[in-house]
Amino acid sequence: MINVFPPASWNYFTLVGDIGLILFMFNLGLELDRKLLKHEWKYSLPVSISTILVPYAAGASLALYLYGINDRDGFAPPSRVAFILFAASSMSFTAFPVLASILTSTKLMSTPLGTLMINCAAMNDILGWCSLALASAFAKGSGIMGLWVILISIGFVIFMFTIVRCLILLVHRFLLKRNDEMNRIFLIGIFLILIASACFCDLLGIHSFFGAFIVGIICLKSGQLGAQLYPKLQLITVELLLPLFFAASGMRTSLGSLNSAFYGGITVLIFAIATLAKFLPACIVTKIVTRWPWKFAVSVGILMNTRGLVELIALNIGLELKILSPRVFTMLIIMALVTTFLTCPLLWLAYLRKYDPETATLLEEENGGKDNLPQSEINPGLQQRTTFRNGIRPRLPVRVSQLTSHPETLANRYPFSRSAYAPYRTMTTLQRIWGDEVKFIILISQNLFPLVSNITVRIILIFIYAIVKANSPNLLPMALSTLEKLMLN
């Protein structure tokens, strides 16, 4: 790795990656619609509070022990308060972008379950990033200085939500009357506000991501501005700049730091605490507040463990601010990845294997359909059809051998595979280098685990493919051939 990317080049990766992080946080703020938080708040607020407080308390308790590990190997961590705040914050995240992608691809977005999850994820992310900004302030200064930073930050947020937001609204209304909503000067002004806000937060001692996040929240979500600005930023940020942010931190990460059973056991402990601290309160509180069947309550608990991209960004910020040592950073990275990957198969086992996305109904069960939501508990605007149909468990509708030569059949015929063709389009370069097996693996994975986001599939499966190909070239064709036989039987 050092021969390919010498340490002198890492700073350039970090610089470009930080730009991608700022744009991503701005885009995340654009994606969060404050109007969503007003709907079904009596259900989403208790679930959100429970899935923030319990993981926060569990993370803070675990941080008291991890602080001693963080202090080893010559690493000089910041104050104990900063480390506890950061570790607790990292336990409380639910990745809003990944969760929205899962709900959209499974056609659950317009259901009561989807509405509840979007509200809870939005509240979790907002409070989580505020807590992370607080940890950043304590990491860069003393306790008294941290309190001053908190007070100034509160004033900054009030200023942004009142004066700056009103100014943006006035200019937008003026341009709307002239039918010039996408005025270039107006767009340049928004980006200047974004840069100024990020720089102010960085000078204040809070990470620049917080300023970008606030600007994204106060910007308009309706009209052409939100509809055109978001997808364009999403393309350049997620596909180009943000991967460099992870590449910069990945170069500083070594799995060899977990070189003993002791550290492996601590990693398992972190994973268990993080999973249960999210799952149990989400499941229990959802059952009590909504009176939904246990099937839906368990699904809420599973989905709240989707940490994904947001958690990885938070952990990389902790590494950058030197709050986390490389060893603890690696432990938390493993926790974030494993919990995110388990979300997809567990959700399928708990709910989706008996869910028909075309009619938004559950397949009839032995109990006569008692596991379905009572109509009194469903928002009238989002009511599901209550007609159930008999049916068997859906099977893969196309042969595996057809996928490499006709990928469009997969996208047209498989109900969950709306996003299955996207990796095929974006993987042409790797396909030329490594052959058709890359395309084959991507399409197979989208059928077996249709909930996994394209970015996650792209990164992890290619990584696994490279390892298998390098160590055992004959193993991969045999495994794929066996998989085809099993799926056709």
Residue-level pLDDT at 107:
74
pLDDT digits (tens, 9 = 90+) for 155-178: 998 999 999 999 998 988 888 888
Confidence of residue 270 (pLDDT cuts 50, 70, 90): very high
Are 278 and 341 found together in one domain?
Answer: yes
What percent of the chain has a predicted confidence (pLDDT) above 90?
Answer: 10
Name the residue among 129, 200, 122, 131 with its Cα closest to residue 159. 200
Domain boundary among 334, 350, 366: 350
Task: Please determine, for residue 75, whether its predicted confidence score (pLDDT) is greater than 80.
Answer: no
Domain boundary among 335, 350, 365: 350
- CA 427 to chain CA centroid, Å, is 22
- Is 386 inside any structural domain? no
Residue-level pLDDT at 77:
63
**114-128, 154-168, 458-472: lowest mean pLDDT where?**
458-472
Residue-level pLDDT at 307:
85
Residue-level pLDDT at 380:
39
**67-81, 193-207, 289-303: lowest mean pLDDT where?**
67-81
Residue-level pLDDT at 341:
84
Residue-level pLDDT at 58:
92
Task: Please determine, for residue 459, whether its predicted confidence score (pLDDT) is greater than 90.
Answer: no
- Is 93 inside any structural domain? yes
The total of structural domains in the chain comes to 2
**298-307, 437-446, 448-457: lowest mean pLDDT where?**
448-457
Task: Please determine, for residue 381, whether its predicted confidence score (pLDDT) is greater than 50.
Answer: no
Task: Please determine, for residue 481, whether its predicted confidence score (pLDDT) is greater than 70.
Answer: no
Residue-level pLDDT at 211:
87
Task: Please determine, for residue 402, whether its predicted confidence score (pLDDT) is greater than 60.
Answer: no
Residue-level pLDDT at 144:
66
Are 277 and 131 found together in one domain?
Answer: yes
More confident residue, 357 or 262: 262
More confident residue, 424 or 263: 263
- Is 83 inside any structural domain? yes
More confident residue, 46 or 222: 46
**126-140, 205-219, 290-304: lowest mean pLDDT where?**
126-140
Average pLDDT of the residues in 420-434:
41
Residue-level pLDDT at 419:
37
Are 86 and 229 found together in one domain?
Answer: yes
Confidence of residue 180 (pLDDT cuts 50, 70, 90): confident
Residue-level pLDDT at 195:
92
Residue-level pLDDT at 177:
84
Are 316 and 420 found together in one domain?
Answer: no
Task: Please determine, for residue 196, whether its predicted confidence score (pLDDT) is greater than 90.
Answer: yes
Residue-level pLDDT at 422:
38
Are 63 and 209 found together in one domain?
Answer: yes
Task: Please determine, for residue 70, whether its predicted confidence score (pLDDT) is greater than 60.
Answer: yes
Task: Please determine, for residue 360, whether its predicted confidence score (pLDDT) is greater than 60.
Answer: no
Residue-level pLDDT at 352:
65
Average pLDDT of the residues in 380-387:
36
Residue-level pLDDT at 166:
92
Domain holding 430, by residue range, is: 402-488
Are 106 and 41 found together in one domain?
Answer: yes
- Is 97 inside any structural domain? yes
Residue-level pLDDT at 281:
94
pLDDT digits (tens, 9 = 90+) for 34-60: 666 666 677 888 998 999 999 999 999
Are 26 and 119 found together in one domain?
Answer: yes
Are 53 and 137 found together in one domain?
Answer: yes
More confident residue, 263 or 464: 263
Are 150 and 16 found together in one domain?
Answer: yes
More confident residue, 411 or 304: 304
More confident residue, 263 or 463: 263
- Is 397 inside any structural domain? no
**261-265, 389-393, 439-443: lowest mean pLDDT where?**
389-393
Are 14 and 109 found together in one domain?
Answer: yes
CATH code at position 338: 1.20.1530.20
pLDDT digits (tens, 9 = 90+) for 306-355: 887 778 888 888 888 888 888 888 888 888 888 888 887 888 888 766 65
Are 229 and 295 found together in one domain?
Answer: yes
Q: Chain-wide mean pLDDT for the chain?
A: 71
Domain boundary among 284, 319, 350: 350
Are 235 and 87 found together in one domain?
Answer: yes
